[in-house]
Structure formats: structure tokens, C-alpha cells
Amino acid sequence: MQHYYFDHNATTPVAPEVLRDLTATLVEVSGNASSIHHFGQAAKQRLENARREVATRIGCDAREIVFTSGGTESDNLAIFGIARRVIVGSAGRARKHVITSTIEHPAVLNACSQLEREGAEVTWLPAGPDGIVLLSELKRALRPATVLITIMHANNETGALQPIREIANLAHTSRAVFHSDGVQVAGRIPVNVRELGVDLYSISGHKFGAPKGIGALYVRKGIPLEPISFGGHHERDRRAGTENVPGASALGRAAALAADWTGTVVLRDRLERGILDRVPGTSVNGSVEKRLPNTTNIRFDGIEGEAIVIALDLRGYAVSSGSACSSGAVEPSPVLLAMGLTPEEARSSVRFSLGPENTESEVDGLIEAVEASVAHLRRISPALRHA
């Protein structure tokens, strides 16, 4: 049986060109980028070429790019790197207030929870039913002690796009640093960090054709960032440890080759409309206007999302019931709960995230598979039989 992939927000296939670059670097570039001999300098050149390619993709200077192991490390470096600095206000008291939202990725949610355990104050902004952070609540939360605002660019479950430019303006008016988790955006749709106004921006390679285990953090020039790991003077003293040259080179290649995913909106809308028209008791979670072009999150009344995921997998279609980082969790999605869904509604939701390689025929096959799977699950559901 052939299998079709509709879970690109979890990860993406490694692009063939990127794989060739990764393999070639592993074979041909054996030196440590910190060494001054021929082999080391060859590695250094490959590393810096990759840094320029990533910087070009997001519109910044190459010196503002820090290579990391992925989105989680980038988020942690940004959050702890700012919040753990002791910044003293005019009254002589430490400024230790952080603002985030209730719909963030666990890499941000759990980092901010750790800050609370370390004594920082954290304000958790709510989101509306559309999955978008309420700017009115952000304005209300700002205070002189605010050192950091961390709000994602696009939500991994609903695809909802956040008002990044407006948040950046509010942050800078209050002299706070603004970090955005751009993992679901960078390498997919055009991003210019200068235009967005962000100070820190997280990237993960495996979301747009690079291998897992490599990412980057944009750090705007002049932003003081404390390291969270200690060792040598790598990455301009911002991230210790011998650089992953093959991974960085692959990330750079993926950034240079990155496709514009805006075209997936046509197939996403075809999939969404087909399901809503042919499957009773369905609705879209979150904004249908301000979201990623490849993502739809659909609720199926009375059916467990996990059951639909399994049923579709048996028919050859890979989808998700939420964040891949929460796979195996029995609790309903915190993101959907934060948007006002009941636990039952959150559990009955499925995420479909397309990629550039998906085709119209694959989408039509998925619609048929969803219709058949849901009809079968509803027939065998005791609760629905006796409703």
C-alpha cells in the first residue's frame, strides 16, 4: 500500500539536494571549524557559507545567525539568554517580568514555566477563538519590569499567524526584547526579520527540507544574550560546542533552495472544503483568514482525533491530532483548550498540514479516506449509536 504524507508541521522529508550536500560534507569536510590548518579552514568556510545562506533567507546579517540543534534549543537560548540577565531598573530592583502566550509550543511554555520556578514573573496571554493572541491583553500586561516578550509567529497546530509587527512595536516602546518562534514559518513563506521588527527569531531545519538536529537563532546586533551552555568560544561566545558543520551546511542549502509554500493554500482549501462538505459534524478550529497556507485543524464531533489518525494511517494517510512533541499525551491539546474549546472538542480535532510535494489526486484520496473513516468510526461508536 502506498502512503501519503500530510503531517509537514511535524517534520518534512529531507530534500534530495540537501541530502547530497549533507553526504558530501560528511565525506569531504573532516576538519574542526575551530582549527587553523587546511582541514579546519575548509570546515570553517563551509560553516560560514551556510551562515550567509540562512541569513539571506530571513533578511539579516550573517553575524546575527547562531547555529543550534533545532527549534527547542533556539527557543531556550533566546528565553533564558535574555531573562536570566539581571537588568536593574531605576528603582534598583531587578527587572524580571516575561510575557508569553498560552498557545506557544512546549519549548516556550516549559522554558517560561522554568523561569517561574527560578523566581521570574510570567504573564500568560490568552488567545481568542481564532487562535490569535489578544493585543489588548498584551498592552495591559506590559510593565517597566518586562524584559522579554516571546510570542510565536505561527501556531503549529492551527497555523494561526500572530500580529508580529504590532507586538514588536509594543515591545520596543516598552524597551522589552521580543523573541518569536518562527519554526513553522521560516523556509516556507517569505520572512524578513528586519521588517518584522523581531530581536530574536527561532528556526528549525527539519521543517523545510533539512535533517533533524540543526537549527538557528537570529540575534539582532546589539542584543545582549547570555549563553546557556559553557565551553569554548564558538558562535561568537553565544553557543559553546564544536559546530555541526554537515548539519549547518545542509541547513544553508535548504534555506537557499526553500520553496514558497503559499501555493499549498489551493490544495489546503480543496481538502478543507471537501471534508466540510462531505463529512457531517465538522468545523475548522481557529482563524480561516490569518493562518499558514498549508495548515487546517478540523474538529469531528463525537469522534476521538486519535482514532481518526489511526484509521487514516491504516488507509495510507499520515496526519496528526496535535503537536508531534506531545505525541502519546492523553490530555487534550492545551492550544485548543486555550482557544476556548471543551476537552471533548479538543480531543476530536485533527491537524492536516500539507507540503509542496502533495498533489491534487492525493488530496482527493485523503478526502475520501476521511469520509469513509469517520463514517465507520461513527457506526461503531457506542456513544453515537445511543445518542
Mind telling me the catalytic residues?
325
CB 104 within 8 A of CB 124: no
Backbone torsions φ then ψ of 201, nearest 5 degrees: -145, 125
Q: Taking the CA of residue 312 as centre, how many other CA atoms within 13 Å lie in the half-sphere pointing to its CB? A: 28
Alpha carbons 74 and 81: distance in angstroms, whole number: 10
CB 265 within 8 A of CB 293: yes
Query: What single string gives the DSSP state of each residue in 277-322?
Result: HHSSSEEE-S-SSSB-TTEEEEEETTS-HHHHHHHHHHTTEE-BSS
| Best CA proximity match to 345, nearest among 326, 327, 322, 329 | 322
CB 57 within 8 A of CB 193: no
Alpha carbons 194 and 60: distance in angstroms, whole number: 7
Helix pair 106-117, 71-83: axis angle to 10 deg = 30
CB 103 within 8 A of CB 339: yes
- Give the Å distances, CA to CA, from 27 to 30, 42, 366: 7, 12, 40
- Output the nine-digit C-alpha cell for 281: 459534524
Exposure string of 66-75, with b = 16+ CB inside 10 Å and e = fewer, is bbbbbbbbbb
Edge-to-edge strand list for the sheet holding 349-353: 282-284, 295-300, 349-353
Our CA angle for 89, 93, 95, nearest 5°, is: 60
CB 337 within 8 A of CB 346: yes
